[in-house]
Amino acid sequence: MASEMDFTKMFRMPGFPDMEALAAAQRRNMEALAEANRTALEGAQAVAKRHMEMVQQSIGDMTEAMRKAGDGEAPQAQAQRQAEMMRGAYERAVANMQELAELIQKSSGEALGLLNKRFAAAMEEAKALVPPTK
């Protein structure tokens, strides 16, 4: 029957927290950290994927512009077309940067939200683990 004794309960000292509850809380902390890391990684992958799509689109646009460059237009018309292309490329670049920034902000916000939620829960758990003083 001695093997059935729980030594943690047997030697529990007043004023010390429940070690099982403390271990469970630490496990939840690690799970929350892993989930936040997973969320951040997924966000980084989404940003990288979208950035690659943007680069591919830009290369396609540049290829098309180079193809049209030798169409034999009058110099004034060619200059105007190039100016329009530059304006369009600039506007797309700004929109792309804004989109990437929003993706990064969303991903970071989700990961941070997970950690903040767990931190708040951990503080409540810590309060419950410490026995009240008399």
Q: Is residue 130 part of a domain?
A: no
120 occurs within a structural domain: yes
Q: Does any domain span residue 133?
A: no
2 domain residue, yes or no:
no
Residue-wise pLDDT for 77-104, tens only, equals: 888 888 888 898 899 999 999 999 999 9
pLDDT digits (tens, 9 = 90+) for 17-30: 677 887 888 899 99
pLDDT at 9: 56
Q: What is the count of structural domains for the chain? A: 1
Query: 4 in a domain, yes or no?
Result: no
**Considering the domain boundaries, does residue 5 fall inside one?**
no
Can you give the residue range of the structural domain that contains 58? 17-65+75-125
Average pLDDT of the residues of the chain: 84
Residue 105 to residue 102: CA distance in whole angstroms: 5
CB atoms within 10 A of CB 51: 14
Residue 8 resides in a domain: no
pLDDT tens by residue, 8-55:
555 555 555 677 887 888 899 999 999 999 999 999 999 999 999 999
